[in-house]
Chain A
Amino acid sequence: AQSVAQPEDQVNVAEGNPLTVKCTYSVSGNPYLFWYVQYPNRGLQFLLKYITGDNLVKGSYGFEAEFNKSQTSFHLKKPSALVSDSALYFCAVRGRNSGNTPLVFGKGTRLSVIA
């Protein structure tokens, strides 16, 4: 079975400070990993993905994520947070050999960037 854990319901960070939103996953074999962001009253927007290759993936709005196979993690990071980054963030996973199965999403982490 595939699963994703986002251990923090809420992350608070001061504007200008680095931010990290944590994600760990469980799949059989190698994963496809994704991050999405949801702004108020909006649908989910794709931020970035890890498919293969370099473990550090860069995405939209200055976000990046690091795939760590030994720790089964895919934490989302940004060097300097902006107030406009305040939103709900979802991690998602799919096993590369899991056949025709949809993405499995975590429960989300609410990021609050304080000016």
Chain B
Amino acid sequence: DADVTQTPRNRITKTGKRIMLECSQTKGHDRMYWYRQDPGLGLRLIYYSFDVKDINKGEISDGYSVSRQAQAKFSLSLESAIPNQTALYFCATSDSHSSYEQYFGPGTRLTVT
């Protein structure tokens, strides 16, 4: 969905490095999410934010942090990357005034060597 953009689209980094994944949206939605996708495990929620001053941990938040810089921007950081954080990362948005369907960005493929 072009309304939700993620940068970078692909990233290879080394163990121990700090990395930031960025998400921007033009949908005007108040809610934003970060997921990771691993084969056979589906989508797992890392963090979510219901507005600029609201940050919540998901089921797998250890090793990650987030920042909601504005309603339209939500970034995910890996403070010290490790190989088992190699995955496909998705940002998503939703509107609290609608039926809660989420709209996804194109994903960031992260490889930690």
Contacts and interface: CB of A to CB of B under 8 A. Distances in A.
19 contacts: A36-B104, A42-B107, A43-B1, A43-B90, A43-B106, A49-B101, A51-B99, A90-B42, A92-B102, A100-B96, A102-B33, A102-B45, A102-B48, A103-B100, A105-B35, A105-B42, A105-B43, A107-B40, A107-B41
Contact of A100 (B41, B42, B43, B50): B50
B101 A34 contact: yes
Interface string B31-60: 001010000111101001010000000100
Contacts of B4: 43
Interface residues of A, number: 22
Interface size class of B (residues with CB under 8 A): 20 to 34
A9 interface: yes
Nearest to A100: B50
A84 B48 CA distance: 33
Contacts, number: 50
Contact of A9 (B40, B99, B100): B40
A111 to B, nearest CB: 15
Contacts of A106: 42
Nearest to A108: B42
Contacts of A102: 33, 45, 48, 58, 102
B107 A43 contact: yes
Interface in A90-115: 90, 92, 94, 100, 102-103, 105-108
A42 B43 contact: no
B66 to A, nearest CB: 14
Nearest to B99: A51
B48 to A, nearest CB: 5
A43 B104 contact: yes
B45 A44 contact: no
A80 interface: no
B90 A32 contact: no
A43 B23 CA distance: 13
Closest 6 CB pairs of A and B: A107-B42, A43-B104, A44-B104, A105-B43, A43-B106, A108-B42
